Amino acid sequence: MTATRPRPLVAGNWKMNGLIKGVNELDAIATGVAAGEAGSAEVLVCPPFTLVSRFSAEAAGQHIKIGAQDCHAEASGAHTGDISAEMLKDAGASYVIVGHSERRTDHAETDAQVKAKAEAALRAHLVAIVCIGETRNERESGKTLDVVGTQLAGSLPAGATGANTVIAYEPVWAIGTGLTPTAADVKQVHDFIRAGLVERLGDEGHNVRILYGGSVKPANCVELMGVDNVDGALVGGASLKAADFLGIAAAYR
């Protein structure tokens, strides 16, 4: 079958970084995208909750989208400190990351909780970026595909399609460490994820974008983005600087 996936996605996860003055970097990213520096790629910036509304207003009418880094599974209620998907939509977000390894580790999030958050995103008409990936111990023990397969099966939302769901493969051991899997390693896992999506979603599984994340930088992006079944990148630290982030998006020029 010929896939009809949306165009490649290059998403920046700012994590717990960024103040209002970060709008200058956002503007620089938008300027670069408008000038064609991201080629065919869709560009997304996911700042902290405190900046979603401000960034969404700044990005209005420009060629970038704004997302968030997490959401609660419920639409409202007595959940002090949490943010619902509906609130993110109201603030101008169009995407939300769920199940990032730092959430799974720091907050002990389970696959079931990640799935519930992804379904909340779909309920609020946000695109869910569902993160999966193995630790270094799991990779060295030869469990990569078992772990990734289990997380995919347990975290994929009901009703997932190529239009409302993105999968991000982020090997935990490569996030922020400077370590990067080989292109062959990435291909093996992404091909496995694609097969899993097709098994669960039928032909629609061909249409879901699969991003790679983990120490992506301008120096290695062309090789990584050129791997079969890699439909873009989820970028961490390198997305905080417009020049670096655009340098990665330039893989799609």
Q: What is the pLDDT of residues 211-247, one digit of tens each?
A: 999 989 999 999 999 999 999 999 999 999 999 999 9
49-59 and 23-34 helices cross at what angle (nearest 10)?
40
Report CA 81 to chain centroid distance, whole Å. 23
Average pLDDT of the chain is 96
The pLDDT assigned to 178 comes to 82
Question: Any idea which residue has 């920046």 for tokens?
Answer: 12
167 — phi, psi (to 5°)? -105, 135
Q: What is the pLDDT of residues 186-215, one digit of tens each?
A: 999 999 999 999 999 999 999 999 999 998
Q: What is the pLDDT of residues 100-148, one digit of tens each?
A: 999 999 999 999 999 999 999 999 999 999 999 999 999 999 999 999 9
Average pLDDT over residues 74-81: 98
Strands 232-235 and 209-213: parallel
- Measured in residues, the chain has a length of 253
Residue-range domain boundaries for the chain? 9-51+67-73+82-241
| Helix residue ranges per DSSP H, 21-64 | 23-34, 49-59
The pLDDT assigned to 65 comes to 98
Average pLDDT over residues 157-173: 97
Percentage of the chain with pLDDT > 70?
Answer: 99
The pLDDT assigned to 179 comes to 84
The pLDDT assigned to 3 comes to 60
Give the whole-angstrom CA distance, residue 238 versus residue 136.
22
Give the whole-angstrom CA distance, residue 246 versus residue 248.
5
For CA atoms 200, 195, 45, 63, give the dihedral sign.
negative
96 — phi, psi (to 5°)? -150, 135
Q: One of 25, 42, 86, 100 is an active-site residue; which one?
A: 100
pLDDT of 2 > 60? The answer is: no
Active-site annotation holds for 170: yes
pTM of the model: 0.97
23-34 and 242-249 helices cross at what angle (nearest 10)?
30
HSE-CB of 247 using CA atoms within 13 angstroms: 12
CB atoms within 10 A of CB 109: 20
CA nearest to 134, candidates 118, 149, 123 = 149
Distance set, CA 194 to CA 37, 167, 210, 230, 244 (Å) = 28, 10, 8, 10, 29
Assigned CATH for 9-51+67-73+82-241: 3.20.20.70
Active-site annotation holds for 100: yes
The pLDDT assigned to 33 comes to 98
**What's the one-letter identity of residue 106?**
D
HSE-CB of 65 using CA atoms within 13 angstroms: 17
The pLDDT assigned to 38 comes to 97
Give the whole-angstrom CA distance, residue 199 versus residue 234.
24
Q: One of 25, 58, 134, 170 is an active-site residue; which one?
A: 170
Specify whether the backbone of 124 is left (phi greater than 0), alpha (psi in -120 to 50) or beta: alpha
